[in-house]
Structures are given as structure tokens and as C-alpha cells.
Amino acid sequence: MKRGCLISLLVVAALCACAFVFVVWHVLPRARMAALKEKGGRGVWIAIVSANVERERNNLPPLWPENVLQEHNFATAEEYFTYLLSDGVTLVIAEPDRRLVPDLRPELLVLNNDKAAKIGGKVTPEANIWHVVVASSNTPRDTIFLVTRNVNASDIRYAESEDEIQNPETSTRMRLAKKLFPQIRRNAVWISRGGSSLHLPEEKLFPALVCPEVRPEGAPPLKTLPAAASMRHPPIRITTPGG
């Protein structure tokens, strides 16, 4: 083989390797985040909103977390989702029409379908990627409702003031578990109470960007139903505000 041909082949191989790395590190995570936002989190939101519309017609209370917690002492996101996927007996049932939220599917709660909750069981920590903020129909629309559980649940809050919303970088960043979901590359994905689906990389993860709402007068601080996995299996490493 001539030297020129060998060099050309090496150049082509190097370009292919660069393209492969770019796809793995940039294209695939973006595609997964898009699916997680639109098919996952927003799918959960649409299912709950649709169920609430039907329940209102039947003079039944909505199924926002705040309303559910008035009757049930749930402590985790998994308990809440198990309830929504049940007929009221806290077990996931097969027939969608019998579920409290008919359009909610276990696959909307995970990155990989093979991890989804099983029929006849409960939503386990491995079958859920979301923290749930205790929202209601009265919660401001831009308030965070669902967020991936690589975010530290204790960092979820309203903005302190309009000034913080205008200058979010002046506050301390929300902490992110660096190795929890390598599929989305140190990004957080969340859904607002009004249904917007968004994501940010960890370097821009400021509370007022995630929840650009000042706490309404007289309203309590935001409460979260954390994913149980974040309590039972602490992340390997949580970033500090400085790095």
C-alpha cells in the first residue's frame, strides 16, 4: 500500500472516530433528553391533566399531589405514582381504563422500558426517574412539578425575589449527582406545573431558572415527594456550589 493511501485511511479513521465520539457525547444525550421531556415527563403531565378534566366532570377532586396528600400519607414519588397507576388500592393494574390516571403508563417514569414497574406490583425506586413537587391547580404555572432525581431534592424552591429571577446566577447552584444518569450527561430535565418541558446543564442549574416564580404571598415553601432511590441509595458524588 502506498504511503499516501495509508495516510488517507488514517485520516478517514480519525474523522470517523471523532464523529463517533461526538454522537456518543452530544447527539445521543440530547435525543434522550428530548424523549425524556416530551414522551416522559410531559406525558405524565398530560395524563394527569386529562384525568383531572374527567374527574371534574364527575365532581371528583383532582389528582395533583397536593390534593392526593390530603387523603393519603405518601412520602415518596414512587408511592404517588403507584397510586395513580392503580384503581385506588396502591397496586399497578393492567387495564388502563381502570387506573385513576388512564393515560399514565409505567414506561413514562423511566429511561429504559425494561426497568418499568410491573403489573400487579408497585413503582420501585429503580422504576422511577422523577422527583415530584407537591403542586395543585392553584400552583403558579411556571413552578416546577417534575424533575429528574439526579437533582438534590432539598434544593428545589421558589425564587427568593424578582431580582433573583432577573439575576439567577447570583444564587447558589442546585446540586447534581454527577454519575446518576450518564445517559443525559450532567443535565437536569424538568416539567413545570403548566406543562413546559425544559432542561439545563449543571453549570446553569440555578433555582430561579428552574422555578422562575416568587413564592405567592401566604403560600408555604415548596414541598417535594422525593424519589425513594435518592434516600436509599445516595448518589456517589454531589457537586458543590463551586464546582
pLDDT of residue 123: 95
pLDDT of residue 120: 94
Domain residues for the domain of 101 are 29-232
> CA-to-CA distance for 140 and 117, rounded, in angstroms?
31
Q: CA torsion angle for 10, 16, 21, 24 (degrees, to 10)?
A: -160
In a domain, 240, yes or no: no
pLDDT of residue 222: 93
> CA-to-CA distance for 215 and 95, rounded, in angstroms?
39
In a domain, 65, yes or no: yes
Residue by residue, pLDDT tens for the chain (243 residues) are: 555 565 555 555 544 444 444 333 344 556 666 667 778 899 999 999 999 999 999 999 999 999 999 999 999 999 999 999 999 987 999 999 999 999 999 999 998 787 899 999 999 999 999 999 999 999 999 999 999 998 999 999 999 999 999 999 999 999 988 777 776 768 889 999 999 998 888 899 999 999 999 998 888 899 999 998 654 444 333 333 333
pLDDT of residue 7: 57
Neighbours of 91 (CB within 10 A): 15
In a domain, 18, yes or no: no
In a domain, 178, yes or no: yes
In a domain, 83, yes or no: yes
DSSP category for residue 172:
P
In a domain, 51, yes or no: yes
Number of domains in the chain: 1
Q: At residue 119, what is the residue type?
A: I
In a domain, 15, yes or no: no
pLDDT of residue 239: 34
pLDDT of residue 45: 97
pLDDT of residue 26: 43
pLDDT of residue 3: 56
In a domain, 57, yes or no: yes
> CA-to-CA distance for 145 and 41, rounded, in angstroms?
9
pLDDT of residue 220: 87
pLDDT of residue 31: 67
